[in-house]
Amino acid sequence: MNKSNSDAPWLALTLDRQLAQPLQAQLCGAIRRLVQEGRLVSGDRLPASRALAAELSISRLTVVTAYDQLVGEGYVIGRRGAGMFVAPDLAGLPRPPARRDGGPPPPTPAPFRPFDTGAADLAGFPHRLWARLLEQAWRDPEPGLLAPPDPLGWSPLRVAIAQHLSDWRGIACAPAQVIVTSGLGESVALVAAALLSPGQSVAVEEPGHGPLRRALAAAGLGVVSQRVDAEGLDPEALGSETRAVVVTPSRHFPLGMTLPLARRLGLLAWAADTGSWVIEDDYDGEYRFRGQPLPAMMSLDEAGRVLYAGSFTKVMFPGLRLGFLVVPPALEASMRQAMQKRGAQAGIVAQPALARFIAEGHFATHLRRMRRLYAGRQRVLLAALAESCAGLLEAEEAPSGMHLVARFAPEFAARMDDVAASGRCVAAGVRARPLSGFFAGEPTAQGLVLGFAGFGEAEIQRAAAAMGAALRA
């Protein structure tokens, strides 16, 4: 550092890993404030990224990202071969707002507890490998990563997704058909903007996914709940005014049944005959415990009426916030136009790392490992329910997925409904969502929806015992 700059400002820097704010944003804000307070002045040299990363026990990529942001804001300049320096002519900067003491800290997300359905196993994810791929992508980024992004997503990622879908889901699609999104909500909004008109009717499964209903309603569409039976959604029950239907054919959410081939073909025929659209929501189709994952319904579509929506949130980690939409070839141009008009919502930072994670086989390896792990955890949950909740809850082994539906035994069903039962579980420290809460209308089934994927065997057993005791009280 220059003689005018002591080590004191840097020794005072602290980052909090418990905050929801990313570390690079915390570091960027801290350096910005040091400049605004006058503790760093024009010409002061910033520590080398490697040295500061070691001092703060963070990755070098985090420091480089923060420095790049400060360069973009004009606080910092880089000198080739010399390093990073506080920019000249900053004497007129306003003082930072006074810090306010007291008051409640910003809320942090509540941790997952058994039996949250949104929980995946995070300990088993290859975090070091993922960090290395991120650093490799951004240490010396390709020029395309620094240019205005393609609204459809990073091209190598779209290539990798297309190959993965061919290998795992039987979908023969070109990379041009793949659109990278921030998740199902953006995919639904994109379909609504490009293919549907406000007020048109879209059918959804009943019971089904509440956030999906809300996303459709937010897009100005009329949401029609379509009751499912033991085999799933019946295409014969769809009305002639329905312009699209959203289904989970590989594994219905939340009941878990697989849509039979005859109904898949019937749904495709309905879409072709009426000129309607089928949105295939494949939220955890890779997690089939016996044999290969089932071919997606899109692989059967010859009329070009199916759009396939997938997500990396459940199969990797929730904070990734990346998904994808696969569209028929005839829609490529109109979807690109819609995306250019709307603007992409999926962040670019993780996309190059994810492309390599898939292309180099790490994603497939992770999926196979999680399939074995989740199959074992499902068996543990079934055994724990049989031991701790006998006479209360009844559940059967599922061939795939990350949760089970535990139905009420007849005598227990006569004592309380699933909302009351869920409340007792929550009071005992267990999250068990009532099945009736997945209905938009009058519920026709009672039970508890139990996620097992994100919890170890001992944790599952303890939670089942606590649940049984709470329900018997």
Examine the fold and report which residue of 58, 86, 114 is the final residue of a domain before the chain moves on: 86
Mean pLDDT throughout 131-151?
91
Q: Last residue of some domain: 347, 377, 407? A: 347
Q: Which candidate, 95, 92, 14, 81, places its Cα nearest to that of 45?
A: 81
Per-residue confidence band for 152, with pLDDT thresholds at 50, 70 and 90: very high
Mean pLDDT of 72-97: 81
Is residue 124 assigned to a domain? no
60, part of any domain: yes
pLDDT at 3 over 60: no
Q: Which of 100-104, 120-124, 446-450 has the lowest average pLDDT? A: 100-104
Same domain, 214 and 275: yes
CATH number of the domain where residue 434 is located: 3.90.1150.10
User: Is 105 a domain residue?
Assistant: no
Asked whether residue 371 falls in the same domain as residue 316, the answer is no
Whole-number CA gyration radius for the chain:
26
Q: Is the pLDDT of residue 101 over 80?
A: no
Supply 259's token pair.
Answer: 């849509």
Q: Identify whether residues 333 and 372 lie together within a single domain.
A: no
Whether pLDDT at 98 is above 70: no
User: In this structure, are 27 and 171 located in the same domain?
Assistant: no
Per-residue pLDDT at 99 exceeds 60: no
Question: What is the extent of the structural domain holding 24?
Answer: 8-86
CB–CB of 267/278 below 8 Å?
Answer: yes
Overall number of domains in the chain: 3
Among 150, 181, 168, smallest CA distance to 291 is for 168
Identify whether residues 155 and 227 lie together within a single domain.
Answer: yes
Residue 172, domain CATH = 3.40.640.10
The answer, yes or no, to whether residue 4 has pLDDT greater than 50, is no
Q: Across 218-311, where does the E strand assignment appear? A: 222-227, 242-247, 277-281, 306-311
One domain for residues 343 and 446: no
For the ranges 3-7, 36-40, 153-157, 355-359, which has the lowest average pLDDT?
3-7
